[in-house]
Amino acid sequence: MVERTSKFLLIVAVSVCFMLILYQYVGPGLSLGSPSGRSYAEEPDLFPTPDPHYVKKYYFPVRELERELAFDMKGEDVIVFLHIQKTGGTTFGRHLVQNVRLEVPCDCRPGQKKCTCYRPNRRETWLFSRFSTGWSCGLHADWTELTNCVPGVLDRRESAAAKTPR
């Protein structure tokens, strides 16, 4: 009899825990009402006016945010991908070399982290990133390091490609 009672109590306890978890995670998405009797639409605005102590650090005009740039892959344009840690940069950088539909797709060989991304009409790279050129400017190079380093690395690569016989 004791075994039956303990099994019953265990089943009841597990059921109660399951219902609490279900109510906690699924309940707020449903319109079950709130304990205070007010609906979510009636909640007061926490910040009705801007904070007078908040100072805008960066201002981006709408025309800057909505501008369109023409990228000429067959010309001399190069995309420099700035890899920032902990922002999904690795996933996005890998996406640039593996999943973007291009006239000449990047050549990614199994077992290698680097891919070769050449322009459609010549053997020059159009993408400067960790997955196309490696860590050419150092590990996790910031904007300043990339600005100083990229032109030299691209010049060295182009001169080395011109020297190799075809």
List, by residue number, the catalytic residues: 140
> Could you tell me the end-to-end alpha-carbon distance of the chain, in angstroms, rounded to an integer?
88
Contact of 132 with 116, CB cutoff 8 Å: yes
**Cα distance between residue 41 and residue 143, in whole Å:** 44
Element (H, E) at 94: helix 89-98
Six token digits for residue 126:
């159009």
**Cα distance between residue 76 and residue 124, in whole Å:** 9
